[in-house]
Amino acid sequence: MGYEDTWRRSVDEPEAFWGEQAKLIDWQVPPRHILDQSNPPFRRWFVGGTTNLCHNAVDRHLEARGDQLAIVAVSTETGTTREISYRELHHEVNAFAAVMQALGVGKGDRVVIYLPNIAEAVFAMLACARIGAIHSVVFGGFAAHNLALRIDDAEPTLLICADAGMRGGKVIPYKPLVDAALKEAKAPPPHVLVVNRGLDPTMAVVEGRDVDYAVQREAHLGATVPVAWLESNEPSYLLYTSGTTGKPKGVQRDVGGYAVALALSMTTIFDLQPGQVILCTSDVGWAVGHSYNVYGPLLGGCTAILYEGMPTNPDPGIWWKLCEQYGVRTMFSSPTGIRILKKQDEAWLKKYDLSALRWIFLAGEPLDQPTYEWLSGGTGKTVIDNYWQTETGWPALSLMPGLDMRPVKPGSPGFPTFGYRMRVIDDATGEDKAPGEKGVLVIEPPLPPGCLTTIWRDDARYARSYFGHFKELLYSSLDWAVRDADGYTFILGRTDDVINVAGHRLGTREIEESVATLGAVAEVAVVGIADELKGQLPAVFATLKQGVTDHPADVARAMERRVVELLGALARPGCVFVVGALPKTRSGKLLRRSLQALLQGTDPGDLSTLDDPSSLEEVRKAIARGPDCGKHTPL
């Protein structure tokens, strides 16, 4: 069957379709019921079935491909490469699981993982899955305050961290951030397991709390830890994502549905069979990293290359060198990563033998046509955009070269994948938009396997955040979209106050709250501004309290430092403007969209509700003279 017939069956006959796909993984007890949607918007897949992610990712491959490479962990920062077979991975994961059990971690306990893209991050995730613990990986670039928020929400039994990461040859100490986070946290774990890479010789050790992983690993080598068989709908992991409020959302994933969806996606979307190689350049702290650095490739019996380093170090050919060296068939990266390479000599695209490479997938943000054409033309490979969210866990829109490859349309991620019945609707009336008309992209329930099941310990927020936007019960992607006459979907940007920085979602509310902690700041508004490299960057507009005598540039730099201090370098503002007044409606609502329009040189929209017209002029003057901190050239 081709794409259309297969997709149609997945949405019209979901129980029959997904019942067949369940055979892609091992079950200790087969599901007794494929789909339970008796309590919408919640749904449960493969009810009553018991399985285990680690067993399916590692143990079941030992007989057929025990000596095949499972993970190749490459760090151009430390100049090291670790080639790990499935048998060696099994050995390491069992030892790691034994270490965690010795530290009191059991089924259902949470484990926060704060590690860079190194092999131990994979061991830790799989060890949690093995014993039924719930892992929550936090991106290593997040600041102590952000980490503390996630610790308090997850209430972990254990935190796993490195002494440091590296970026562009610069050591980034992790342990001091962990120590600061645990001082701030209300629910700190009793133990911190430290993977000491020898990068930070000044690392402090807290006696009685901090545990050296190398010592514990040595003590538990050779251990055999039985897998914990979990009911399909028990939580496998939490992954925190920004929302429109300052409190991050703990996206909760299940076990069985996630495993089945990823196994299916490896063959049909990414066109990978057991033994073939994928290079995914994501960080394990992001959703793509979870699904296609770790779980997806291992579920599929593939080899995954885990990369720590810059795309330009030691030179802009490093990714292509890895493709040649390991015979990569499918590469998965982001538009931002490719735009970084686009600034380099195009000759790097042709230096290495890419004959094994068939597909280059990009996701995380809309793919602009110049970047698409540069990559496609320079490599001669098919470049495939695909669209998904932390919440979906795997592509919701894509082309499917492993099933039925359709023509690429630059700018479009393609068509709905299995189980996703999508519509583009009017945000006010809920009516379907005609082809070519802009609307909100929504998904009709039930959400397919692999999607989030709820928000950790907050079912009400799950229902409100995702299904509370329209009279009809629909999952709102909170993205604008348009569908053309051929059925291709194009993503146009967010409908809410979340911006996309290099494929990573940041809530403007979080940034505003960080800036507002400065005593000199009276009011603040943050909007997203287009950036050639990263897609979007935060732009800060702030007024100062009466009596503040500091120079605006000094206060602006303090705002920038405070954001980095509380949220991490990823949230660093692209520009900061200190203004005399912010435009508001008569009811006091900040006109953020008008600020964004003025900054980008477009129509600020209907200003009939503006309380003080002079405030808009203040903003115009500030933009014309340039930011007090950062860079922005008026359009």
The answer to whether residue 479 sits within a structural domain is no
**Confidence class of residue 607 from pLDDT cuts 50, 70 and 90?**
low
pLDDT of residue 357: 98
| CATH number for position 587 | 3.30.300.30
Structural domain includes residue 351? no
Residue 489 resides in a domain: no
Q: Classify 614 as helix, strand or coil.
A: helix
Same domain, 440 and 502: no
User: Do the domain assignments include residue 375?
Assistant: no
C-alpha pair distances (Å), 407 with each of 167, 265, 607: 38, 19, 43
Pairing state of beta strands 330-333 and 277-280? parallel
Category of 414 on φ-ψ map: left (φ > 0), alpha (ψ -120 to 50) or beta: left
Query: Which tokens is 39 given?
Result: 């309590």
Categorize the per-residue pLDDT at 132 as very low, low, confident or very high, splitting at 50, 70 and 90.
Answer: very high
Q: What percent of the chain has pLDDT over 90?
A: 74
Is 411 within the bounds of a domain? yes
Provide the domain count of the chain: 2
Counting residues of the chain whose pLDDT is more than 70, the rounded percentage is 96
- The answer to whether residues 395 and 540 belong to one domain is no
540: pLDDT confidence band, cut at 50, 70 and 90?
Answer: very high
Would you state the pLDDT for residue 606?
A: 57
Domain contains 541: yes
Question: Same domain, yes or no, for 430 and 510?
Answer: no
Helix (H) or strand (E) segment spanning residue 578: strand 575-578
Query: What per-residue confidence (pLDDT) applies to 91?
Result: 98
Taking 80 as the threshold, does the pLDDT of residue 590 lie above it?
no
Tell me whether residue 20 is in a domain. yes
Do 409 and 529 have their domain in common? Answer: no
Roughly what angle, to the nearest 10 degrees, separates helices 508-516 and 552-567?
120
531 and 618 housed in the same domain: yes
In whole angstroms, give the CA distance from residue 539 to residue 571.
10
Residues 181-186: what's their mean pLDDT?
96
Among the ranges 128-137, 488-497, 564-573, which has the highest mean pLDDT value?
128-137
CA pair distance 322, 319, nearest whole angstrom: 5
Both 539 and 403 in a single domain?
no
Residue 8 sits in a domain whose CATH number is 3.40.50.12780
- Give the residue numbers spanning the domain of 560: 498-630
Q: Write down the pLDDT at residue 610.
A: 65
| Average pLDDT for the chain | 92
Confidence (pLDDT) at 608: 52
Q: Do residues 163 and 175 make contact, with C-beta atoms less than 8 angstroms apart?
A: yes
Q: Is residue 450 part of a domain?
A: no
Q: Is the pLDDT of residue 630 over 80?
A: yes
Confidence of residue 245 (pLDDT cuts 50, 70, 90): low
pLDDT in tens, 9-20: 999 999 999 999
pTM of the model: 0.85
What tens digit of pLDDT does each residue of 454-470 get?
A: 999 999 999 999 999 99
Q: What is the pLDDT of residue 634?
A: 45
**Domain-ending residue, one of 399, 414, 444:** 444
pLDDT digits (tens, 9 = 90+) for 384-408: 999 999 999 999 999 999 999 999 9
What local confidence, expressed as pLDDT, does residue 504 receive? Answer: 74
Region for 397 from its dihedrals, namely left if φ exceeds 0, alpha if ψ lies in -120 to 50, beta otherwise:
beta
Note the pLDDT of residue 635: 40
Q: What is the mean pLDDT of residues 236-258?
A: 87
Mean pLDDT in residue range 152-164: 97
For residues 438 and 505, membership in a common domain is answered with no
**According to the model, what pLDDT value does residue 70 have?**
98
* Mean pLDDT along residues 413-425: 98
